[in-house]
Amino acid sequence: MIRRFLPKSLLGQMLLSVALALLLAQVLSGVLLYRAEHRRLESSLISQLAFQLVRDPRVDVRDDPQRGGKRGERRRMRIERALESPQVLGEMSDPDREQALREVLQDQGVEIAELVVLTREVENDRFMRERLRNAPRLYGDRYDPGGQIVLAGLKRNDSDRWMVARAPLPPRNVGAFRGVIFQTLILYIVLVGGLALLLRRISRPLAALTKRVEKFGGVTDGAEPMEPSGPEDTRRLIAAHNAMEARIAGLLDEKDVMLGAIGHDLKTPLAALRVRIESVEDETERLKMAHTIEDITSSLDDILSLARVGRPSDPLERTELSALVASVVEEYEDMGDDVALGETQRVALPVRTTWLRRALRNLIGNALRYGGQARISLTKNGTDAIVRIADTGPGIPDDQIESMLEPFTRGDTSRNRETGGAGLGLTLARAIAEQHGGTLVLANRIGKNGSVGGLVAEIRLPL
């Protein structure tokens, strides 16, 4: 499911990988920063509480005019002393802070009888409410009336009273996290943006090379070689492709010349033989010889067509397939063959009519030869136009269907040389379908009693 939303291109996958790696690194950095900030705040909080509990309970603090006091006036500040524990019913102690404070006090030589640390709302603490009411300027800048405080109660071994210290719960430093977010945005803009520009310099020539390879059919059609661009490695790849393309086109041109020469050199003596057999007096022998010559000529035509199907000379023409199929069916009907046209739909596609007509004739001829009849239809399934040719013959064993599409392959005795053909009809039909970006599919028809009721051949052309 997730794969559907993942980018398919090299550029998209590389940028996604870098973006995810950068995001993970920044998240880890943020977590480490949060933990370091948390430890710093906790250490400062514990130090404040320990300082209040260890120092002399009475401390002189000099006021200044801004805090409501007179210059030179001295006010005695006291931490709270109580006969009972500051923890009230329903309040939960903080064991982590309690353990940290205990360790600090023990390091200072304080003998601890009981120790409790807890968090409390300022408005729920009577001592702080009084201080804020009596000296708002002195306490208001440190204690938020709507905030929280951390309260520590200590009872020493040599005392029957509790000493209660208070410290404001420090707020989280959101500025540091804003800095991480800002830093992440800057890194995304600089790193991912710079990488995108670099990858585009690589992916553009590769995309152009991909299109060139997809369109290359063995002929250059006078097109200029691709101009090498991008990094040095990409330039070398494009140059190597240009050289390979030229070699392939040259080899295929030589093959066409050779096939043309072979076809000419073979057809000429075959034509001479066709004339010479007319002098044979035995009509039976003469017909056998004529049939053999025709069979050789037909096989030669199939071989030459199969060799040239990948390098067609005629252009694609937008054609109404239903009209093309109907015209082929009419040819067989005019000859009295049992060929019928069934359901058809209007489908217009750019095709090479000569080649497609050849494929249809091969498939219909096979259906007539092995099944005695052919039923043709043309339908659409949303993505493909499907030309279906069905017969009522013996079909093909399922394990031999793939091999029947290979050149010079014939099936069982019902599909032998005596029935005609060199085993190239299906191969040529498949090659023509693939030339148009489609496929040839063979399947057996299953009758009502579960037996094979014939063969169905489908040419699927993409819409």
* The domain boundary residue, chosen from 140, 172, 204: 172
How would residue 310 be classed by pLDDT, with cut points 50, 70 and 90?
A: low
Specify the pLDDT at position 64.
42
Establish if 324 belongs to a structural domain: yes
Whether the model clears a pTM of 0.75, i.e. scores above it, the answer is no
pLDDT at 317 over 60: yes
Q: CATH code at 390?
A: 3.30.565.10
- Tell me, yes or no, whether 139 and 251 share the same domain: no
Task: Give the whole-number percent of the chain exceeding pLDDT 90.
Answer: 3
The residue ranking higher by pLDDT, 203 or 115, is 115
- Tell me, yes or no, whether 292 and 258 share the same domain: yes
Hey, which of 86-90, 140-144, 408-412 has the most confident mean pLDDT? 86-90
Establish if 41 belongs to a structural domain: no
- Tell me, yes or no, whether 401 and 321 share the same domain: yes
The residue ranking higher by pLDDT, 204 or 117, is 117
Establish if 42 belongs to a structural domain: no
Task: Give the whole-number percent of the chain exceeding pLDDT 70.
Answer: 82
Specify the pLDDT at position 408.
60
- Tell me, yes or no, whether 163 and 252 share the same domain: no
- Tell me, yes or no, whether 322 and 304 share the same domain: no
pLDDT at 73 over 80: no
Establish if 441 belongs to a structural domain: yes
Establish if 264 belongs to a structural domain: yes
pLDDT at 306 over 80: no
- Tell me, yes or no, whether 299 and 344 share the same domain: no
Specify the pLDDT at position 68.
45
How would residue 308 be classed by pLDDT, with cut points 50, 70 and 90?
A: low
Specify the pLDDT at position 254.
77
pLDDT in tens, 219-272: 555 567 888 888 888 888 888 888 888 888 777 777 767 766 776 677 777 777
pLDDT in tens, 271-282: 777 777 877 777
- Tell me, yes or no, whether 321 and 394 share the same domain: yes
Of 15-19, 63-67, 168-172, 439-443, give the lowest mean pLDDT range.
Answer: 63-67
Average pLDDT, the chain: 79
Specify the pLDDT at position 219.
54
Place of tokens 């007539």: 368
* The domain boundary residue, chosen from 118, 143, 172: 172
CA angle (399, 405, 410) in 5-degree steps = 75
User: 287 and 277 in contact (C-beta within 8 Å)?
Assistant: no
Specify the pLDDT at position 218.
54
- Long-range CB contacts for residues 154-157, cutoff 8 Å, separation at least 24: 154/53, 154/105, 154/110, 154/112, 154/114, 154/115, 155/85, 155/112, 155/113, 155/114, 155/115, 156/110, 156/111, 156/112, 156/113, 157/111, 157/112, 157/113
Of 110-119, 134-143, 229-238, 391-400, give the lowest mean pLDDT range.
Answer: 134-143
- Tell me, yes or no, whether 240 and 343 share the same domain: no
Specify the pLDDT at position 421.
53
CA angle (354, 356, 357) in 5-degree steps = 65
Hey, which of 43-47, 58-62, 72-76, 448-452 has the most confident mean pLDDT? 43-47
Overall average pLDDT of the 20-27 stretch: 85
Establish if 254 belongs to a structural domain: yes
Specify the pLDDT at position 205.
84
pLDDT in tens, 355-389: 888 888 888 888 888 888 889 999 888 888 899 99
Hey, which of 8-22, 46-60, 166-180, 347-361 has the most confident mean pLDDT? 347-361
- Tell me, yes or no, whether 353 and 327 share the same domain: yes
Specify the pLDDT at position 160.
87
Backbone angles phi, psi at 363, to 5 degrees: -70, -40
pLDDT in tens, 185-218: 888 888 888 888 888 888 888 888 888 887 776 5
pLDDT in tens, 139-163: 767 787 888 889 999 999 888 889 9
Domain count for the chain, please give it: 3
Alpha helices in 85-219 (DSSP H): 95-107, 126-134, 136-139, 174-187, 193-215
Overall average pLDDT of the 38-46 stretch: 89
Establish if 49 belongs to a structural domain: no
Specify the pLDDT at position 19.
83
Establish if 13 belongs to a structural domain: no
The residue ranking higher by pLDDT, 258 or 92, is 92
Please give the full DSSP string across 333-359, using - where no structure is assigned.
Answer: HHTT--EEEEEE---EEEE-HHHHHHH
Specify the pLDDT at position 99.
92
The residue ranking higher by pLDDT, 421 or 461, is 461
How would residue 312 be classed by pLDDT, with cut points 50, 70 and 90?
A: low
What range does the domain containing 423 cover?
317-462
Overall average pLDDT of the 289-318 stretch: 72
Specify the pLDDT at position 116.
92
The residue ranking higher by pLDDT, 6 or 62, is 6
Overall average pLDDT of the 291-316 stretch: 70
* The domain boundary residue, chosen from 282, 311, 340: 311
- Tell me, yes or no, whether 153 and 243 share the same domain: no
Specify the pLDDT at position 67.
42
- Tell me, yes or no, whether 403 and 417 share the same domain: yes
- Tell me, yes or no, whether 415 and 305 share the same domain: no
- Long-range CB contacts for residues 237-244, cutoff 8 Å, separation at least 24: 237/209, 238/205, 238/209, 241/209, 241/212, 241/213
pLDDT at 299 over 80: no
